[in-house]
Structure 1
Amino acid sequence: MKAKIGIKEADLAKVAAILNNVLADESIVYQKTRNAHWNVEGPDFHAAHLFLESQYNELAEIIDEVAERIRQIGHYAVGSYAKYLELTHLTETKYEHTDSKGFFKELLSDHESVIMNIRGNLDAVEKAGDQATEDFLVGLLAQHEKMAWMLRAHVA
């Protein structure tokens, strides 16, 4: 059943497409963070392992919230890695070494890319008249900016 929330269906479809792209990005960053958590090595292993765990737990919540927002506006959330890889603008893990600094640099780049992507879509969501999704995306920006800051502090 379609949502009747005062926004044209065509506009909701555009917003859902944007959100599914965000969902794909979030899912790729999540998996890359899990990979780093599982495979990090070095003298800072324990601290890096725990830090990465906190980041992937936050990303897991974000993923759920993005998917639920898509459903709230009457559309379906994508749910396969094949589709995520088709929709994302990120790449799979590139880093070949297992030290924390390398993982952190790659994840930082991904978070900054997610930030720029979300920021670049805010105008389209605003034009669609979906203030709730616009507010939701602004909240995601703040979360990713904090996560990026934490990563940046590790590689400075």
Structure 2
Amino acid sequence: MDTLAKLAPALATPSDLDRGEVRAVATALNAILADTFALYIKTKNFHWHVSGPHFRDYHLLLDDQATEIFAITDAIAERVRKIGATTLRSIGDIARRQTIFDNDADYVLPRAMLSELREDNLMLVESFRRAKQFADAASDNATSAMIDTWTDDAERRAWFLFEASRN
């Protein structure tokens, strides 16, 4: 019996993918999921606390982006389950895995918010590209295709944030 099945036999979804490759893909996707939740919360934080002359535009932009980010969380977690692994279970689990840093500052300048979120989205793109390599090595076409869409979405968010923060 392999390690994944020993950890959670009732949750060991059958898959034709190699178990070692499943482990690599699931580890990469779970890290992305943690960062996606971190980015969602940060985006909502900035949405709630943005101020200044471009308030309405930034407020709406950040709300749209937060909605888009949150929408992929279920797809990521379900993909991990479909390939036969388990996914995140708690806020603590997210905190242990996230690489996108929180921002708990009392005040952040609006341009700094946009810049920070742009960089975070680009970090997520890098994580997507690494995960795609694992998915492709496993011949996990479905995960690879989903990652393509998520990458394009994150690049679009980064582009909008860049353009909105220009002088």
Give me the TM-score of the superposition, normalised by structure 2: 0.86
Q: How far, CA to CA, are the matches of 1:48 and 1:64 in structure 2?
A: 26
The equivalent residue for 1:9 is 19
Alignment of 1:61-80 (within 5 A): 61-80=71-90
Q: How far, CA to CA, are the matches of 1:121 and 1:78 in structure 2?
A: 17
Q: Could you tell which deviates more after superposition, 49-58 or 76-85?
A: 76-85
Match of 1:24 among 29, 34, 41: 34
Extract structure 1 runs of 4+ deviating beyond 6 A.
Answer: none
Q: How far, CA to CA, are the matches of 2:102 and 2:93 in structure 1?
A: 13
How many residues are aligned here? 156
Alignment of 1:104-119 (within 5 A): 104-119=114-129
Give aligned-pair identity as a percent.
Answer: 28
User: Tell me, what secondary structure is at the counterpart of 1:10?
Assistant: helix
Q: How far, CA to CA, are the matches of 1:22 and 1:123 in structure 2?
A: 14
Q: Is the contact made by 1:95 and 1:103 (CA closer than 8 Å) also made in structure 2?
A: no
Cα deviation digits, residues 8-40 of structure 1 (max 9, x gap): 222212211111001011000000001001111
| 1:82 correspondence with 2:107 | no
Q: How far, CA to CA, are the matches of 1:94 and 1:127 in structure 2?
A: 38
Q: How far, CA to CA, are the matches of 2:80 and 2:134 in structure 1?
A: 16
Unaligned runs of 5+ in 1: none
Q: Report the alpha carbon displacement of residue 87 of structure 1 after superposing the two structures with TM.
A: 1.1
Query: Cα RMSD over matched residues?
Result: 1.6
Q: Report the alpha carbon displacement of residue 4 of structure 1 after superposing the two structures with TM.
A: 2.9
Give me the TM-score of the superposition, normalised by structure 1: 0.92
